[in-house]
Chain A
């Protein structure tokens, strides 16, 4: 859908985004941090699958050594921080996109929606844990 080149007899000038574009504006930077969080979440997912495979093979001592490793603990804390950041920013955005209706003419502000969504998340998580484990 783009018209490349020029409209007349002179070439058009085109400035492309450089690799540091996301540092030019603080809002771009927070966006990039949110995108970056997925890196830590995916690495954690791989570690988690590895841990499960150790348990599935009955390799409990290796599992024990692995989870007690300071590197695993430090990475888990970092991953937790980024996961929480990701979850909060997403729930906040969901509140902007899909405000929850409160009556006929009122709907939630993004922060109210964030709070309601977090409460719902906790309730549903507890329900799932109760149904499959605690019961």
Chain B
């Protein structure tokens, strides 16, 4: 078994090999100067290190003035999103070795106003998220002792993927429509609206129709499809938006008294 052991050892040395990456990080420090600029940092890294580790290294050892958001470092909290080499990514899920022999450009999420360095203002998305009522609406709540609201696996399947959204806003950074018109409700908010519209336990789907079927709602979407490419959780917001469009169109065919 000597050869196998050697293989593992070789792999381990490879994983602990230290190389150097060059990060070009977007800096915006309005308290010092109003013009943004790029700052270059050299960061030693191992194979298991991600962009977020590099940013933490810079913050701890090179330049304490760098600002960015992060929390869980495992792709769940959705706070560490940034445009890495022009594409929106979770910095905790982008390995440095994937950009080998290359300068890595790290910018704040596109289409959002920048407060400082990589920190963007997410107020707009938060308002939209709240507007689509992302919770189960019941005509009458039953007490917990009466049991849960049941549904079949097929009914769960209808919305399950959309419930995986972590509100990281990468889809907004990927959407040129949102970039051109920030009134657009956008991918994640619609995906979450659809997640509850498609949930059989929800009893007032139509409460969300005025928001999603608004002029600036789903009808703004012209099927670029980049939101679904950018999503780090395998959600397909483009699908949710088109399904909501179909709902809007069929809603018009219903007798008026059923419409709201």
A13 to B239 alpha-carbon distance, docked (Å): 32
Q: Which residues of A contact B182 (CB under 8 A)?
A: 1-2
1/0 per residue, CB under 8 A from A, across B160-204: the answer is 000000000000000010011011000000000000000000000
A25 to B131 alpha-carbon distance, docked (Å): 31
Find residues 209-260 in chain B having any chain A CB closer than 8 Å to their own CB. Answer: 222-226, 229, 238-239, 242-243, 246
A97 to B239 alpha-carbon distance, docked (Å): 5
A108 shortest CB reach to chain B, Å: 14
1/0 per residue, CB under 8 A from A, across B94-110: the answer is 00000000000000001
Contact present for A35 and B225 (CB under 8 Å): no
A109 shortest CB reach to chain B, Å: 14
Q: Which residues of B contact A103 (CB under 8 A)?
A: none
Binds B, one of A14-22, A60-68, A73-81, A123-131: A14-22
Find residues 31-55 in chain A having any chain B CB closer than 8 Å to their own CB. Answer: 31, 35
Kindly state whether residue B123 has any CB partner on chain A within 8 Å: yes
> Do A12 and B224 form a contact, CB below 8 Å, given A1-B128, A17-B176?
no
Contact present for B179 and A21 (CB under 8 Å): yes
Q: Among the listed B131, B222, B246, which residue makes an inter-chain contact with A1, where contact means beta carbons less than 8 Å apart?
A: B131
A79 to B10 alpha-carbon distance, docked (Å): 59
Q: Residues of A within 8 Å of B, CB-based: how many?
A: 26
Contact present for A1 and B239 (CB under 8 Å): no
A32 to B225 alpha-carbon distance, docked (Å): 12
A35 shortest CB reach to chain B, Å: 7
Q: Which residues of B contact A11 (CB under 8 A)?
A: 30, 34
> Do A3 and B124 form a contact, CB below 8 Å, given A13-B28, A13-B36, A27-B225?
yes
Chain A minimum-CB-distance residue to B36 = A13
A27 to B238 alpha-carbon distance, docked (Å): 14
Contact present for A12 and B225 (CB under 8 Å): no
Contact present for A27 and B176 (CB under 8 Å): no
Q: Which residues of A contact B239 (CB under 8 A)?
A: 96-97
Contact present for A7 and B179 (CB under 8 Å): no
Q: Which residues of B contact A24 (CB under 8 A)?
A: 86
**What would 13 A/B residue contacts be, using CB atoms closer than 8 Å?**
A1-B131, A2-B182, A3-B121, A7-B115, A10-B30, A12-B114, A13-B28, A13-B113, A14-B113, A21-B176, A31-B224, A35-B222, A97-B243
Residues of A within 8 A of B (CB): 1-3, 6-8, 10-17, 21-22, 24-25, 27-28, 31, 35, 93, 96-98
A-B contact sample (15 more), CB < 8 A, given A14-B114, A31-B224: A6-B115, A10-B30, A12-B113, A13-B28, A17-B111, A21-B179, A27-B226, A27-B229, A28-B226, A31-B223, A31-B226, A93-B225, A96-B239, A97-B246, A98-B246
